[in-house]
Amino acid sequence: MERKWQAIMALLVVAILVGSLVSYQLGRNSLMQDLTEAQRELNDLQQDLQEVQAKIQQLEKQIEAAQSEKETLKKELELLEQSLVVPDSFFISERAITSQVGKSGDVYFTKELKISPYYNLSYGEIQAFSVWVWGRVYSVKEVTAIIETNEGNVTIPLKLVEGDRYLGRWTGLWIIRGGALQRTNVMGFPAYTIWFRAIGVAGNATLANMEIRHTGK
């Protein structure tokens, strides 16, 4: 009888061990499946990340190309502005203005300053300048217009079209851009500033400025 009970107990122990082994194996299989699924999801995430990185690199190249194209267009625009000659008829306009500058010095502005158009401006529109400069002591080497915009100053070289380098009229133009029409003056009115700079052969310079009220008269 005792041997019979020992055998039964041994069978129970074996059954418990087998059950534990089966449970362990089932748990291990489930864990392996979870790990496999997690690895698959990680691989998918890595693939998505690679695709995002590739798109970012593509966008960076497009941005770089766009910036390069912008610089190229900017240079072409500057060359165009420098090559064009302003006809006198351009200053015969209801939107033009004639003003006295009167800045004195060895090289200074005299007679009159014309800007056309002066108000009701639009981006992409041509704005032209005409200014008389007198080299009272020295001849005039160069005259430029410097326009303040939200994207930095735009410098326009003016051409001598009348008279000579001791007393002459200089003209030039630019295509309105760079957020100039978003600028305001100290009073809060829509306006941007144009500086006219004349330089004599001796290096002496004179500056005069004109505020452009670009809306209304």
Residue 76 exposure: Cα atoms within 13 Å on the Cβ side = 6
**pLDDT the model gives residue 12:** 65
pLDDT tens-digit map of 123-150? 888 899 999 998 877 789 999 999 999 8
Alpha carbons 177 and 80: distance in angstroms, whole number: 14
Whether the CB-CB separation of 143 and 198 falls below 8 Å is answered with yes
How many CB atoms are located within 10 Å of the residue 61 CB? Answer: 10
- Determine which helix (DSSP H) or strand (DSSP E) holds 154, and give its type and residue range: strand 152-157
What span, in angstroms and rounded, lies between the C-alpha atoms of 10 and 16? 10
**Measured between alpha carbons, how far is 155 from 77 in angstroms, rounded to an integer?**
12
129 CB burial (10 A radius; 0-12, 13-18, 19+): buried
Please tell me the predicted confidence (pLDDT) of residue 159.
92
pLDDT less than 70: residues of the chain: 1-24, 26-27, 65-66, 68-80, 82-83, 102-106, 215-217
> DSSP 3-state assignment of 40?
helix
What is the reported pLDDT for 169?
Answer: 94
